[in-house]
Structure 1
Amino acid sequence: MTQPVWPSWQGGSPAMLASHADRERAVDVLRAGFGEGRLEQPEFEKRVARAYAARTVGELGLLVADLPNGPVPQQSAPFIAVSQPRTNGKAVGSAVCGVLCLASFGLTGIPAVVLGHSARAEIRRTGEGGDGLALTGLVLGWLSTGGWVLFLTVLMVAAAVSG
């Protein structure tokens, strides 16, 4: 059996007292080993109980030494805020108009189409978000407009036939 290698971060040694985070990292390694089928249920439960009762990092290292990843140090990375791209306002307007087509009997269909095309052009140019909203408005607007065109065509044909 190989000697367990516990990370030497924080200048620690196997005799260093274990923290709650150290115990949780060891339990995470045990869970991964159990999930991969490397540990049977009774062995897993026994090791988890020993991990939570461990006093030193050396004891934790022995519990996970025969697993592939062994004790893995958790690298601390600085917090980096990732900003989401701003959602295009015309895309939101297009989606709202498209959804309102049913309630407004199609009156908002044409604005949904106009706003949707305009929003998609701006989104491609500026990199803003909201392409799905613009596309939703476009589809609903075109369906509403097409439905009204079909309805009016049928109505005019029926009027011409009847006289």
Structure 2
Amino acid sequence: MTHPSWQPWQPGQGGGVPQRWQDGGAPQAWNGPATPAMLASHADRERAVDVLRAGYGEGRLEHAEFEKRVSRAYTARTVGELALLVADLPQGPMPQPAPVTPVPRTFLQVSRPQTNGKAVGSAVCGVLCLVSFGLTGIPAVVLGHAARSEIRRTGEGGDALALTGLVLGWLSNVAWAALLALMIVATALSA
């Protein structure tokens, strides 16, 4: 029993007619779905339907036309038939520019200035004056004055914190100074 000899295809010659490789050369790569007569695969049909869905979603096709083309896509036998179904559509969803409408100032987010770190430190030291028996009063005053100076210069937030630290620090320092003065007077009178 004799079998016919195998004849490899040579792309690009003879319009798809099988021919032998000449002179023992290597086969050339197939050009893909550029051949309109090539049979369509399921994936080719699904790609065509996806393009149709995108066109319908963008309002490029009426519903009846969309349904008609989808049914034709699923019954298409060749890649050429599918190409005709989507030839007048872009090959995917087209980005639509967003409408530019100004947002009223009332609804814009207000950016709050950053709180000054020295102001926070001044307020913490001022509050700690109550539990540390006034030992943090001098740092509260120094940090408070430095913070208020920086806040005026840079526009940062935290002026109330710096003022709180200043008031508590000065009250602590004045109380310690008055206590020290009373102790000096008491020792002078007792001597």
TM-score range, shorter chain: 0.5 to 0.7
Q: Distance in 2 between matches of 1:159 and 1:153?
A: 10
| Residue in structure 1 matched with residue 126 of structure 2 by the alignment | 98
Q: Secondary structure at the match of 2:133?
A: coil
Pairing partner for 2:158 from 130, 133, 157: 130
Q: Distance in 2 between matches of 1:76 and 1:113?
A: 47
How far residue 76 of structure 1 moved from its aligned partner, in angstroms, is: 8.0
Q: Secondary structure at the match of 1:81?
A: coil
2:146 corresponds to which letter in structure 1? S
1:47-87 Cα offsets, whole Å, 9 max, x none, are: xxxxxxxxxxxxxxxxxxxxxxxxxxxx9836633210000
Q: Secondary structure at the match of 1:123?
A: helix
**Does 2:137 align with 1:109?**
yes
**Does 2:184 align with 1:156?**
yes
Q: Which has the higher contact order (CA 8 A, sep 6+)?
A: 1
How far residue 127 of structure 1 moved from its aligned partner, in angstroms, is: 0.1
Pairing partner for 2:168 from 109, 130, 140: 140
Q: Distance in 1 between matches of 2:146 and 2:189?
A: 40
Which structure: greater helix fraction? 1
Percent identity of paired positions between Structure 1 and Structure 2 = 73
Instruction: Please tell me whether Structure 1 or Structure 2 has the larger radius of gyration of its CA atoms.
Output: 2
1:77 corresponds to which letter in structure 2? V
Q: Distance in 2 between matches of 1:94 and 1:128?
A: 15
Q: Secondary structure at the match of 2:139?
A: helix
- The count of corresponding residues between Structure 1 and Structure 2 is 89
CA RMSD of aligned residues (A): 1.7
Q: TM-score, normalised by structure 2?
A: 0.45
Q: Secondary structure at the match of 1:98?
A: helix
Q: Distance in 2 between matches of 1:77 and 1:131?
A: 31
Pairing partner for 1:77 from 87, 91, 103: 103
| Residue in structure 2 matched with residue 38 of structure 1 by the alignment | none
Q: TM-score, normalised by structure 1?
A: 0.52
| Residue in structure 2 matched with residue 23 of structure 1 by the alignment | none
After superposing on structure 2, the runs of 4+ consecutive aligned residues of structure 1 that deviate more than 4 Å are none
Q: Distance in 2 between matches of 1:117 and 1:77?
A: 40
